[in-house]
Amino acid sequence: MNEEPVFRVEGLRKSFGRILVLGGVDLSLRAGSVSALMGANGAGKSTLVRILSGVYTRDAGHISLAGRDFFPASPAEAIRAGVVTVHQNINDGVVADLDVATNLTLDRLNGRSARWFFNPRRVRREAKAVADRMGLSIDLDASIADLSLADRQMVAIARAMAHEPKVLILDEPTSSLSSAEAERLFQLVDRLRAHGVAILYISHRMSDIRRLADSIVSLRDGRITGTFAGPVLDYEGAVNAMLGKTISHGGITVQTGGAPVISAASLQLASGARPFSFALREGEVVAVTGLVGVGKTALAETLFGARQPAAGQMVLDGKPYKPRTPQQAINEGVFLVAKDRTDNGIVPDFNIYENMSLPFLRRLAHLGGVASRGSERGEAKRQIAALGIVCRSERDEMHTLSGGNQQKVMVARWLSQPCRLLVLDEPFQGVDIAARRDIAGKLRTSAKGRATIVFLTELDEAFEIADRILVMSEQTLVGEHRNANIDVNKLLAEIAGQHEMVN
């Protein structure tokens, strides 16, 4: 391995308005080496990738590639200079309406050296050369739209490698792949490393990082908080640096909980994942923590009927629970505060009370089938007061509220009606500390009469809200802790994948 970095980033800074996103990032990549970048949501990973790939310009700092200044004004310039990015959204790297051969040669067809006339034989010949070089065994005449997600991923990477880059950036490349599909990708990465490509591999999957990484870089709040290299990598230290070295307990009074509200036996979130079991009790708040991509959202959606498990059984209040749709889950008293309020939560042009009552219009309707605006507005006023939502009135449209107050409305929506299980997926994402504490306090004070499960990446948030903390890794539960005198080192080891399985 070449010890001299081929790619250097020094003092990189980027702000959007008054918000500092990157606060002086230093990063070095070596030829023939895989550097894993870890960072929680909001750490600045996406902004860093967009600067390196020419989408954003930097505010300050210096970047050099093979000893020369690197200052791309566009993604095309970055690619021509030798830095190629395969983004997390695979559809950004392939054109679904074209065949494999055309996708593999598309950049040449559109590039400066493109010829006047389209030559199918030449396209197929050049595509075969790219595929052979990458060990890609896919029908070149097949339409991208007909390929599996894994094969699309391979085509996107092969297309990127057709540029023969010095640096390849892979952003969460296995986030939608099975274990077998991921292994094909790993073999491809091994081949690229052997050819001297410097690879920045962005992932939270510890299995990926153990399999591939020569070094680990931890990013938190726009700054590098740890770099780990050597023959034996400190995975636990990397996770600790990513999540924050100072972890404070919230000082809550831990509740034991009553009878089980919902339980799961031998639940399997995906084919090949380890099955697990758990029970959630009435009156308790349970946090499920773990890195991004370990299956937290999959479990939340399974509880809510938005996806089906590969195997296992669930029981709700002593009866089999097999929701096929979210509406069935809602009818049985299981509510979900979704992770992405923009795509799965708010209706921006509706006002506050309309957003709160939207899932419950049938419940609120009179005999004539029309919901009572008075009852909708009355409940909205109560929730606004209870959660401290900053607004002029319940008639304010959602798009006029701050992100934190929008999130409060989403939580208030599902607190406005009684339920048996309340599921919250990253409810504190994008909110400030004050809003976080308002939401956490309301969830705890209203916990009587239901079970509450909160999916969180940040440990501080779990300590502030939970009676019990469960740890997920690789789509299964690997640890359980009562939120009192927790062995933080053990918890971090479980998050890092150094654990015994929980049955």
Within a domain: 84: yes
Give the pairing of strands 421-425 and 451-456: parallel
* Residue 111 counted as domain residue: yes
CB atoms within 10 A of CB 480: 13
Could you count the other beta carbons within 10 Å of the beta carbon of residue 164? 11
The set of residues, in sequence order, having a beta carbon less than 8 Å from that of 56 and lying 6+ positions away, is 14, 47, 50
Full residue range of the structural domain in which residue 234 is found: 5-243
Residue 19 is assigned to a structural domain of this protein: yes
Q: What is the pLDDT of residues 331-390, one digit of tens each?
A: 999 999 988 666 567 787 789 988 888 878 666 655 444 556 777 888 889 989 988 888
Q: Up-side HSE of residue 125: CA atoms within 13 Å toward CB?
A: 5
Burial of 205 (0-12, 13-18, 19+ CB in 10 A): buried
**C-alpha torsion angle, residues 186, 188, 190, 191 (rounded to 10):** 170
Q: Give the distance from CA 474 to its chain's centroid.
A: 14
d(CA 104, CA 101): 5
E strand or H helix that includes residue 331: helix 326-331
Read off the tokens for 479.
């640890």
Question: Is the pLDDT score of 233 beyond 50?
Answer: yes
d(Cα 449, Cα 282) in Å, to the nearest integer? 6
Q: How far is the first Cα of the chain from the last one, in angstroms, to the nearest whole number?
A: 42
**Which H or E run includes 26?**
strand 19-30
Q: 306-324: per-residue pLDDT in tens?
A: 999 999 999 999 999 999 9
Q: Is there a domain that residue 452 lies in?
A: no
The answer to whether position 44 is within a domain reads yes
The reported pTM is 0.63
How many domains, the chain?
A: 1
116-151 confidence digits (pLDDT tens): 455 778 888 888 888 887 777 888 989 988 887 778
Q: CB-based burial of residue 478 (10 Å sphere; 0-12 exposed, 13-18 middle, 19+ buried)?
A: buried
CATH number at residue 94: 3.40.50.300
Q: Is residue 86, in this structure, part of any structural domain at all?
A: yes
The residues near 401 (Cβ < 8 Å, ≥ 6 apart) are 352, 389, 390, 391, 409
Q: Are 471 and 499 in contact (CB under 8 A)?
A: yes
* Per-residue model confidence (pLDDT) at position 303: 97
Please report whether residue 265 resides in a domain: no
Whether 500 is covered by a domain: the verdict is: no
User: Mean pLDDT lowest for which of 124-133, 278-287, 406-415?
Assistant: 124-133
Q: Which among 293, 291, 288 has a CA at the least distance from the CA of 481? A: 288
